[in-house]
Structure 1
Amino acid sequence: MFTERTSVGLDVHARSVVATAIDTKTGELFKQRLVPANEVVIDWLHTLPGPVAVTYEAGPTGFGLARAMATAGIRCEVAAPSKLSRPAGDRVKTDVRDSLQLARLLRVDDITSVRVPTVTQEAARDLVRAREDVRGDLMRARHRVSKLLLRHGHVYYGGQTWSAKHHAWLHRIRFADLGTRCAYEADLEAIDFAVARRDRLDATIAELAADSEFTDLTRRLCCLRGVSTLTGFALAVEIGEWQRFNGNSIGAYLGLVPSEHSSGQSRRQGSITKTGNSHVRRLLIEAAWHHKPRYVVGPVLRARWEQAPEPARARAHIGNQRLHDRWNSYTRRHKKHTVANTAIARELAGWCWSLATLE
């Protein structure tokens, strides 16, 4: 709720900050172009009629400015860009107009704020996102190698691909042409480097998952089938404060609910919205496939259960049974497997929330 005297909108860029402030008592406007230094911005805010409330759009400049303002005792709301209201007929966009629009929206409490993570949470998030980037790099490098070999008539029939045996086969292939040979060797080096980077990041994630502020939550999430240490840790750091959701809203937050266009008596539903955190959505989609086979508490899952409290184990057991039964239900109704798996992922998100908020 806006209770301050002055509302301030900041249009933050890498090399400049355009600020516009509105004094709600006098209606006076204050405009200033500042350098993107936290202390400079805060010093200018202190010259305004107080108390002051500030907002700026979430973007590539991160949350350092918001943290600095919180330390200085200034309320700062980091606005979700996709939730900002903009006039339909507005065809002029400038930094000053953007900052003025933000100040006006803050004044009428029409700002949807994003959650500002702590420094520790952001560091852990950087780690899991680096792991996600390496996964993508490795996948693309492997595709380049396999397609180059296919064009030249080399197909592997020796069993599982990308195993140690397969890697040995790859390194035995030689090309006579210099260009093809150099391209092939470069792609093989990219695979080896990506694997080394992935293993190094996996070791760091395992270390943090075993001894950090995310350990308890990670171990509870890992009681569910398909949620390994890597997946559980990523869910823990990407979602952050699970208490802001409930069992239904978390699926919508992650873009796992159907899109809809309804008007009057017409109701049309389409594919999932795919809004929110794409990394978490991919992890849940992959984890959902593990609930299709018959549910058996094997040694790997039992070892994870031993690290979690008894209430988490009991609830996860119910969830695992429920998700497998849902898979069987979709199979009997002849649902497409991809559609069924997405529905399972949406319900799995709810079970993750249930374990994360378990007291």
Structure 2
Amino acid sequence: MNEITTIGVDLAKSVFQLHGVSSEGNVVLRRQLRHSQMLEFFQTMPGCLVGMEACASAHNWARALAELGHEVRLMQPSYVKGYVKRGKTDQADAEAICEAVTRPSMRFVPTKSEATQGRLVIHKAREFQERQRTQIVNAIRAHLGEFGIVIPKGIHKIDRLIAACDEAKLPVPARKALNLLAGQLTDTQKQIEDLTSEVPRNAVTDEAARRLQTIPGIGPISADALVAALPDISDFRSGRDLSAWIGLTPKPHSSGGKERPGRISKMGNSYLRRLLYLGAMAQVSARRRGKPGNNWLWGIIQRKKPKQAAIALANRMSRTVYALLRDGTEFQVAQAT
């Protein structure tokens, strides 16, 4: 009668809050556990449904609890928020998670394997290093600008920026500081190149990533990131669902039967969205320099601004990714219009 069938777990760094209910919906468990007590507690529990918010450590706990015979479901925190009755407490959050995980309309996040998470760490570390490189470049340009030395923008101007630091006539304190930043920029650039060299190895050995690279605008980095970050492709009903999951579809605004689509939603995985946009922008730039034509991309370029055309192409590319992963095929240029 009071057997626990569903448990909501509010994850944290050291203290976890649990909320359990029976099959009749009666609350039979409210408990806090330390990090070291989690596995010991669930080892003594019969198999039940466990709900968690998809956060940094959620996939690791999901794998560990699944090995103990529990059914673990991960949910986006934004989807759980609507089930919080009042206040922001660990107990209220655990109760909301326990309620949300039983909803038939809830959307769940597939649990990632260790291998998949390992591939994503390379991309996340590379993205972090790229942000640091941008910050260092901006700092050096700003400091040189204070002494009247102007260097054009662009990552491809790094060598010129470092040379300007070496050749500029600067006060001793400024020279020391800029040499330090220039050395940090050189080291960061080398680290990015080392991480980038790891990606093609996965992209070559993975059959799905190899097929995605046949799509114009998608290279080894984008293909490997798509394969590692995307859930099971069967979770999407259509290519538009995948595009919406990445955040490349217009945000809907409807009232009184009138629909007013706005800008793209920018929901979902921002890293995948940026990679698809950069690949699309490269295709748009190359097409604008080419000869006039009558295909789909040329028509978009004539009607829209370059960045708008790139978003439209990125949307189309995401739908092509869906088709290739669903059917196990390669991109056919002759059939693309």
| TM-score using structure 2 length | 0.86
Aligned position for 1:191: 185
Listed one character per residue, the Cα deviations across residues 136-189 of structure 1 (whole Å, up to 9, x for unaligned) are 1112212222232233222358x995365x266335323432332222112211
Aligned position for 1:345: 314
**SS of aligned partner of 1:272:** coil
After superposition, residues 230-249 of structure 1 pair within 5 angstroms as: 230-245=221-236, 246-249=238-241
> Per-residue deviation at 1:87?
5.3
After superposition, residues 43-82 of structure 1 pair within 5 angstroms as: 43-45=40-42, 47=44, 50-82=46-78
Q: 1:239 to 1:287 in 2, by over 3 A?
A: same
CA contact (8 A) 2:5 2:48 kept: yes
Q: 1:182 to 1:74 in 2, by over 3 A?
A: same
- 1:233, 1:26 → 2: CA distance? 43
More off after superposition, 180-189 vs 119-128: 180-189
Verify: 1:279 aligned to 2:271, yes or no: yes
Verify: 1:329 aligned to 2:299, yes or no: yes
One-letter amino acid of the counterpart of residue 228, structure 2: V
Identity of aligned residues (%): 22
Greater length-normalized contact order (CA 8 Å, ≥ 6 residues apart): 1
Aligned position for 1:207: 201
CA contact (8 A) 1:78 1:113 kept: yes
> Per-residue deviation at 1:56?
1.3
More off after superposition, 238-247 vs 112-121: 238-247
More off after superposition, 223-232 vs 192-201: 223-232
Q: 1:207 to 1:256 in 2, by over 3 A?
A: same
> Per-residue deviation at 1:5?
5.7
Aligned position for 2:117: 122
Mark the runs of 5 or more structure 2 residues left unpaired by the alignment.
329-337
Mark the runs of 5 or more structure 1 residues left unpaired by the alignment.
297-321
- 2:25, 2:275 → 1: CA distance? 52
Aligned position for 1:219: 210
> Per-residue deviation at 1:279?
0.2
**SS of aligned partner of 1:237:** helix
| TM-score using structure 1 length | 0.81
Verify: 1:31 aligned to 2:23, yes or no: no
- 1:160, 1:15 → 2: CA distance? 41
More off after superposition, 169-178 vs 188-197: 169-178
Aligned position for 1:113: 108
Verify: 1:99 aligned to 2:94, yes or no: yes
One-letter amino acid of the counterpart of residue 115, structure 1: P
> Per-residue deviation at 1:295?
10
- 1:18, 1:9 → 2: CA distance? 8
> Per-residue deviation at 1:46?
5.2
CA contact (8 A) 1:17 1:34 kept: yes
- 2:99, 2:321 → 1: CA distance? 38
Structure 1 runs (4+) greater than 3 angstroms displaced = 45-48, 107-111
Verify: 1:19 aligned to 2:11, yes or no: no
One-letter amino acid of the counterpart of residue 249, structure 1: D
Aligned position for 2:219: 228
- 1:180, 1:168 → 2: CA distance? 14
**SS of aligned partner of 1:55:** strand
- 1:160, 1:8 → 2: CA distance? 50
CA contact (8 A) 2:15 2:32 kept: yes
Q: 1:163 to 1:345 in 2, by over 3 A?
A: same
- 1:87, 1:238 → 2: CA distance? 27
One-letter amino acid of the counterpart of residue 128, structure 2: D
One-letter amino acid of the counterpart of residue 301, structure 2: T
- 2:25, 2:261 → 1: CA distance? 49
- 1:354, 1:107 → 2: CA distance? 31
Verify: 1:41 aligned to 2:47, yes or no: no
After superposition, residues 122-201 of structure 1 pair within 5 angstroms as: 122-156=117-151, 161-162=156-157, 164=159, 166=160, 169-201=163-195
CA contact (8 A) 2:16 2:35 kept: yes
CA contact (8 A) 1:10 1:56 kept: yes
> Per-residue deviation at 1:343?
1.0
> Could you say what the CA RMSD is over the residues aligned between the two structures, in angstroms?
2.7
CA contact (8 A) 1:9 1:54 kept: yes
> Per-residue deviation at 1:26?
7.7
Q: 1:110 to 1:41 in 2, by over 3 A?
A: farther
- 1:172, 1:27 → 2: CA distance? 72
